[in-house]
Amino acid sequence: MTTYTIKVHNKSDASQHFLLFNEKPTSSNNISQLWTNVWVKSGVTDHPNGTATFKITSKFYGVCGTTDTAFASGVSVSTSDWADVNITTSSSNGTKLQMNVEDDGPVFDSSAVSTTSTTGSFAINTNSFDSTQHENVYCGLGRQSAHDSEDIIPVAVWTAKPSQDYEIAPVQKFFIATGTYSEGDVVNVADLGQTVVIDFTSTTYTNASTDFTTEYKYTSPKYS
């Protein structure tokens, strides 16, 4: 498992909260809308010499749960259940999770884990359930919290439908913005303003840094 370190140097004229997001994974066509969630929120980062440091791992998880309302920007999403997943490689198949919606909500059935051969992916299969009774059930991609290794944060989610076989191909590609959202909150990426992309795909680099300037823009990341 790889650990990545991302540093944001606040060179602006005000203190900031920096937000870390996972780039949306590629997904199968039966996922009609994929929502992005805040993965990590920094503490208050002072100016002009403060630095927000994000230490994150490369591990992926499947997540599921139920929200109080339908997905929209600002809706808070927490994880009800999660499971480790492996991604399909040239030498081994990826994980296919079985998500069952029961009276109390969705759970992963650890006795029904199988595999998927779709390159770069893991999968989530859903059971047959009454979607009118479980309108706000979701599943998706999770990542380990930067603050608590026992906490898995939803980073890309969608409304789960019955009897579906979902394929998800996540990437080690991230972006950073400022804002007041909380970890797990759904966001409309178009509303975030200035962002910077941190891309560790197809590289051996594990460290990246960027400056947030007095113009409220980010410098091009430096990798090492």
pLDDT of 25 over the 90 cut: yes
pLDDT of 210 over the 90 cut: yes
Pairwise CA distance, residues 30 & 159, whole Å: 11
Q: What is the mean pLDDT of residues 65-82?
A: 91
Amino acid 74: pLDDT: 86
Amino acid 36: pLDDT: 96
Phi then psi dihedrals of residue 183, to 5 deg: -60, 135
Amino acid 72: pLDDT: 86
pLDDT of 154 over the 90 cut: yes
pLDDT of 190 over the 90 cut: no
Strands 122-126 and 94-102: parallel
Amino acid 20: pLDDT: 98
Q: What is the mean pLDDT of residues 129-152?
A: 92
Amino acid 103: pLDDT: 84
Q: Select from 9, 11, 50, 21 the least CA-distant residue to 179.
A: 21
Q: What is the mean pLDDT of residues 121-131?
A: 96
Amino acid 104: pLDDT: 82
Q: Which residue has the higher pLDDT, 218 or 133?
A: 218
Amino acid 137: pLDDT: 95
pLDDT digits (tens, 9 = 90+) for 75-112: 889 899 999 999 999 999 999 999 999 888 999 999 99
Q: What is the mean pLDDT of residues 158-179?
A: 97
Strands 186-187 and 40-41: unpaired
Q: What is the mean pLDDT of residues 68-73?
A: 88
Q: Residue 30 in contact with residue 74, Cβ under 8 Å?
A: no
Amino acid 1: pLDDT: 86
pLDDT of 149 over the 90 cut: no
Pairwise CA distance, residues 75 & 33, whole Å: 15
Q: What is the mean pLDDT of residues 212-218?
A: 98
pLDDT of 147 over the 90 cut: no
Q: What is the mean pLDDT of residues 46-65?
A: 97
